[in-house]
Amino acid sequence: MESHKKKELVIGVVMLGAGLVYLFMTMNLPRKGFVDAAFVPYVLAFMLCLLGILQLIASRTTASSEIDAESDSTPADYATVLKTLGLIVLYAALLKTVGFLLMTTLYLYLQFIVLTPASQRVKHVSYLVIAVIASTAIYFLFRHGFDLMLPAGFLDL
């Protein structure tokens, strides 16, 4: 139980340290306004620092509220991890050729299927609708909101 607490504390310290290093590196980026190229790195750095602080607070909880990691552990599902890595590689390989909109829709749909527990029924229609809406929203947000080009592929929107 005590080693579990130490691991949680180390994870919190590492996360906070990584967040602070990332924040200091982000401060070297040139600024042109509130929302510019440095905006997202600042948000990510602050979020990583916040997660590190929350992890440190969580590691300080009393031993009575901790869950015994050995009794509640579930075996690792390496097949799901390998399928996810394969989908990411396929997504990155075909993104420029096929385009952001179609590849992101396909990736999200397949990832939803991979992450669906074996005990549940796969909801194909729901997954497809969510994937299409999310991909379209992200594409138009980046294209028209942030004025950033995403790979259009053979769909030139």
Distance CA 127, CA 95 (A): 20
Average pLDDT over residues 50-63: 79
Q: What are phi and psi of 36, to 5 degrees?
A: -145, -160
Q: Is position 84 within any domain? A: yes
What is the residue-averaged pLDDT of the chain? 82
Q: Is the pLDDT of residue 137 over 80?
A: yes
Confidence of residue 68 (pLDDT cuts 50, 70, 90): low
Select from 71, 51, 49, 59 the least CA-distant residue to 5. Answer: 59
Q: Which of 12-26, 27-41, 55-69, 138-152 has the lowest mean pLDDT?
A: 55-69
Give the residue numbers spanning the domain of 33: 2-72
103 part of a folded domain: yes
Where a domain ends, among 72, 98, 116?
72
The number of domains in the chain is: 2
User: Do both 42 and 95 map to the same domain?
Assistant: no
- What is the average pLDDT across 56-61? 81
How much is the pLDDT for 126? 92
Alpha carbon distance 60, 58 (integer Å): 5
Predicted TM-score (pTM) of this structure: 0.56
Residue 99 backbone zone (phi > 0: left; psi -120 to 50: alpha; other: beta): left
User: Which pLDDT tens digit goes with each residue over 71-98?
Assistant: 556 677 788 889 889 999 998 888 888 8
In a domain, 13, yes or no: yes
